């Protein structure tokens, strides 16, 4: 079925008990696709994109709001997440129950890496004019 109202298109397709739907409102696109009980959804609002993909009970999600990107990926019960807010990056990666996290705030870098229950931490100076002694904790 295809419906056109005021140059807007709303389409729904059903094949083999699967549903694929595309909705366009005011030049915005919202799409939902279901295949074999899996859901892949893409939503665009005000030139922003929010996408959720589910494959084999795994979830991969990408959200873009006001030029900010937040990505969450789940593979084999592992979580890898990247969040960007106001040009700042916060990244957390989990692989085989290991955690590696990188945080960037106001062009400053704070990085923490955990591998095999070992912790290595690095933190940048908040102000380059400070003495080097206050930043010698890198090792």
Q: So what's the pLDDT on residue 137?
A: 43
Q: How many domains does the chain contain in total?
A: 1
Averaged pLDDT in 10-residue chunks for the chain of 139 residues: 42 45 47 49 48 47 47 48 50 49 47 43 42 44
- Does a structural domain hold residue 56? no
Predicted pLDDT of residue 66: 45
Q: Residue 10 falls within a domain, yes or no? A: no
- Residue 53 CA to residue 106 CA, distance in Å, equals 31
Q: What is the value of pTM for the model shown?
A: 0.19
Residue 52 in any domain: the answer is no
Evaluate whether residue 110 is within a structural domain: yes
pLDDT at res. 85:
52
Domain that holds residue 111: 79-125
Ranges of beta strands (E only) in 1-139 are 2-5, 8-15, 18-25, 28-35, 38-45, 48-55, 58-65, 68-75, 78-85, 88-95, 98-105, 108-115, 118-123
Residue 22 lies in a domain: no
Q: What is the pLDDT of residue 21?
A: 46
∠ CA 18-19-25, rounded to 5°: 170
């Amino acid at each position: 079925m295809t419906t056109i109202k005021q140059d807007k298109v709303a389409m729904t397709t059903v094949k083999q008990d699967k549903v694929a739907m595309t909705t366009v409102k005011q030049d915005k696109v919202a799409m939902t696709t279901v295949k074999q009980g899996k859901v892949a959804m893409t939503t665009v609002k005000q030139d922003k994109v929010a996408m959720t993909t589910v494959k084999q009970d795994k979830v991969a999600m990408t959200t873009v709001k006001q030029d900010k990107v937040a990505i969450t990926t789940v593979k084999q019960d592992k979580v890898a997440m990247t969040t960007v807010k106001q040009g700042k990056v916060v990244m957390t990666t989990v692989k085989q129950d290991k955690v590696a996290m990188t945080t960037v705030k106001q062009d400053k870098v704070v990085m923490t890496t955990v591998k095999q229950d070992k912790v290595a931490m690095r933190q940048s100076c908040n102000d380059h004019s400070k003495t080097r002694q206050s930043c010698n904790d890198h090792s």
